[in-house]
Amino acid sequence: MLTKRIIPCLDIKDGRTVKGVNFVELRDAGDPVALARAYAGQGADELVFLDITATVEKRKTFAELVKRIARAINIPFTVGGGISTVADVSRMLEAGADKVSVNSSAVRRPELISEIASEFGSQCLVVAIDTRFAEGAHVVHTHGGRKPTERETIAWAKEVAERGAGEILLTSMNHDGTKAGFADELTALVSDAVNIPVIASGGAGAKDHFQSVFTKGKADAALAASIFHFGEIPIPELKKYLSERGITIRL
């Protein structure tokens, strides 16, 4: 069985780490470089850095901040936000990122997925899918969850896998920031539909939520933010809990 991964997420706005509920009502959660360094030391398997307003404000992710974070850690590091061209990807990888995450730009022009995979390899491409369940359907959203699209989540997940994505970062907007648990059912549907790793995001609030998304949700990795940022669940404690319950995890 593949080792499950625990991934803290640093949502960045104006150079600071922030956290909200259902993608709004953001509050400050600290300095991203200091947090990144702390998580690497605590045993996080990877980090994700999302410049959450980059697409909305039509600007590029801060390459300088990426460089500072990359220098501070020794674990794989994914960067997303405002990445819309092969040149953007090159800039982030040169700054020290191991992978890039695309979302709105891939929905707008799906060929971008194939272009990035062809140029740099699928292993460094994560396609983020922000989804909301409304009127009986799971609908893909873009622009930091602000804009619903015509795309259905499972179908889009299949397409991004076929186009060369290396991983899917699946965020349930209904669950985001609620601390009521991950979207296990949806995560399992996506995991069953594709042959690439699925990272579950949105709703972590307790240790058993991680156990559930790894078993019922069939996730390969689980991402969380506020419970780590505000010290509610220490990563070593979470990993010990999961290991004791039969989840294959790196201690």
Spatial separation of the C-alpha atoms in residues 144 and 157, rounded to whole Å: 18
Q: Which of 45, 51, 88, 130 is catalytic?
A: 130
pLDDT at 63: 83
Listed by start position, the domains of the chain span 5-244
pLDDT at 22: 46
CB neighbour list of residue 200: distance below 8 Å, 6 or more residues apart? 170, 182, 183, 187, 213, 217, 219, 221, 222, 223
**Helix, strand, or coil (residue 8):** strand
**pTM score of the predicted model:** 0.92
pLDDT means over runs of 10, the chain (251 residues): 90 69 52 89 94 57 83 95 91 95 95 98 97 91 84 97 98 89 97 98 96 98 90 96 97 90
pLDDT at 50: 84
pLDDT at 81: 84
Q: Is 192 a catalytic residue?
A: no
CATH 3.20.20.70 fits 5-244, yes or no: yes
Q: Tokens for 251, please give them.
A: 């201690």
pLDDT at 176: 84
Secondary-structure percent of the chain, ordered helix, strand, coil, rounded to 5: 35, 30, 35
Q: Is 14 a catalytic residue?
A: no
